[in-house]
Amino acid sequence: MSEKVKIAVAGTGYVGLVAGVCFAEKGQNVICVDVDEKKIKLMKSGKCPIYEENLEELMIKNYNAGRIDYTTDYKMAYKDADFIFIGVGTPEKSDGSANLDYVYEVSKQIAESIEKDCIVVIKSTVPIGTNDKIEKYIRENLKHNVKVDIASNPEFLSQGTAVKDTLHASRIVIGTENKKVEEKMKELYSNFDLPIVATDRRSAEMVKYASNDFLALKVSYMNDIANLCEVVGANIEDVAKGMSYDERIGNKFLSAGCGYGGSCFPKDTKALHYLAMQGGYELKTIKAAIEVNKKQKLILLEKARKKFATFKDVNVAVLGLTFKPGTDDLREAPSLVNIEVLLEEGAKIKAYDPIGEENYKKIYKNEIKYTKTPQEALKDADICFIFTEWNEIKDVKPSEYKNLMKKPLVYDGRNIYNVNEMKNIEYYSIGR
């Protein structure tokens, strides 16, 4: 961009904080806003509130360079900003719809605070048509005589690789309703040197949902095929390999397992399904993905039921708590629903996760014994469940299950071992 602009970012979670830090890394002046004073102090001290590779070092680098700061004073942050990015959460409601309370709360603050013309950019994942509603809402609640335009700019980051996914994105999607705003957004992203897809706002909103839901559908399809492979005696890994050479299919998201989790796939599939139903249309493919995933999360317990009528007083080793490696996020993690059932039945659980322990303690502080190594969790266990494919878990040797457990009985929800390597152990995986 020819000259620096002031960017304000509302929200310091995965979406907002990563966006703010990456804009600062590209030379812009950024101020991140959050209501949590403890969180702001933590970030000012150089600590990252979330576990994300390379994020903390970029925070420190750009804070020391004076390109990024953090505040709870939204009025100061918004009043003279050129761009205000909304990156707050849109959590799932009980009916599956997206909760937009935080988006509207920030929009109200923006409307009351801005004192110059600016572009408000919605980066949060929001239902189709939300940008139109927010534009109307902000314009109706303005306290000063300024011009405001709204742009949609959905994120496509994956937790664990969020910084890389932002700085080296496959594409940048920009949704606007006029060319001037589109050009300003393109100029803002000119330093990124990435492909830009420019469209209208509703199409941009749909690109986000359609992309995430397609990937969720792909995962659920492979899990469905994996379950059938067990019935007919096929090997899902060989099937996936054979499929991967087809360029129309690709080699990503073909791994079978015990279901997807995280902050995106579960929420976004339900939100789009809800939106369609509200419009009188049923997305049958998305509905199927939701149903398959819900059942898949309990696939290991179903297998284990053949050995245990109840888990009362059974010593259970749980390896992996987060929904995937590389993050401390527990949202919709398969471990949650399984551990809930195990505890209800009176199991004695020892669990290991290299990063997720502290977050898990917020849910189960004393009900579970947490260990510092996988081996400690396995010692004297009657059964082991693997829910996350951390490298620390992959490094556990097959012989260690045999030597440490009372009886080596392993249920692997991520297919981290070669079946032949585990031939001296009672070992169950997905689709093999």
Q: Give the mean model confidence (pLDDT) for residues 48-77.
A: 96
Residues taking part in catalysis: 264
Q: Give the mean model confidence (pLDDT) for residues 246-253.
A: 96
Label residue 59 by pLDDT band (50, 70, 90).
very high
Q: Give the mean model confidence (pLDDT) for residues 292-306.
A: 97
pLDDT for position 2:
46
Q: Give the mean model confidence (pLDDT) for residues 43-71.
A: 96
Alpha-carbon radius of gyration of the chain: 23
Close Cβ partners of 180 (under 8 Å, ≥ 6 residues apart)? 149
Label residue 280 by pLDDT band (50, 70, 90).
very high
Pairing of strands 83-86, 426-428: unpaired
pLDDT of 109 > 90? The answer is yes
pLDDT of 3 > 80? The answer is no
> Which strands make up the sheet holding 409-412, listed edge to edge?
369-370, 348-352, 315-319, 383-386, 409-412, 426-428
Residue-wise over 94-112: b if at least 16 C-beta within 10 A, else e? eebbbebebbbebbebbbb
Pairing of strands 148-152, 383-386: unpaired
- ∠ CA 265-42-353, rounded to 5°: 50
The domains of the chain, with CATH numbers, are 6-199 (3.40.50.720), 208-295 (1.10.1040.10), 299-428 (3.40.50.720)
pLDDT in tens, 151-194: 999 999 998 899 999 999 999 999 999 999 999 999 999 999 99
Close Cβ partners of 116 (under 8 Å, ≥ 6 residues apart)? 79, 80, 81, 82, 146
Label residue 4 by pLDDT band (50, 70, 90).
confident
pLDDT of 1 > 80? The answer is no
pLDDT for position 263:
87
